[in-house]
């Protein structure tokens, strides 16, 4: 996993563990993190993001409960095989991604119309 694949915005109203969970889930579901790819240890990712290890551990637990990663003693934490069929829309994750995008766009100075235009362009 690349160093900057996951970022946490400490000014966001979205809790850091949820930002980590949503970003990793999106990377896994889009194939940017492949099956079997090893994730950093909880301590390493926490140090990289300047967060408490418990924050990263919670994100990893939720990803494991969702079947997206698996942790084995001695083998570390790795991306699990995705089910072959379609998965259900995660409305919570979608909302988190939308809030993160909107916050980042506003930080760039974009207004509502700019943001909507960017989303429409991305969909086309």
Print the SS3 string covering the chain.
Answer: CCCCCCCCCCCCCCCHHHHHHHHHHHHHHCCCCCCCCECCCHHHHHHHHCCCHHHHHHHHHHHHHCCCEEEECCCEEEECCCCCCCCCCCHHHHHHHHHHHHHHHHHCCCCHHHHHHHHHHHHC
| pLDDT value at residue 29 | 86
Per-residue pLDDT tens listing for the chain (124 residues): 655 689 999 888 889 999 999 999 989 988 899 999 999 999 999 999 999 999 999 999 999 998 999 999 888 999 999 876 666 677 777 787 788 888 888 888 999 999 999 999 988 8
45-55 per-residue burial string, b: 16 or more CB within 10 A, e: under 16: bbeebebeeeb
| pLDDT value at residue 4 | 62
């Amino acid at each position: 996993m690349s160093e900057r694949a996951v970022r946490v915005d400490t000014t966001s109203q979205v809790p850091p563990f949820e930002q980590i969970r949503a970003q990793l889930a999106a990377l896994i579901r889009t194939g940017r993190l492949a099956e079997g790819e090893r994730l950093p240890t909880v301590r390493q990712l926490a140090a990289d993001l300047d967060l408490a290890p418990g924050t990263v551990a919670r994100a990893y637990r939720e990803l494991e409960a969702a079947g997206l990663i698996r942790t084995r003693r001695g083998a570390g934490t790795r991306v699990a095989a995705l089910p072959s069929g379609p998965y259900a829309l995660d409305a919570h994750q979608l909302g988190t991604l939308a809030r993160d995008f909107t916050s980042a766009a506003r930080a760039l100075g974009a207004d509502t119309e700019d943001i909507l235009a960017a989303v429409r362009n991305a969909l086309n």
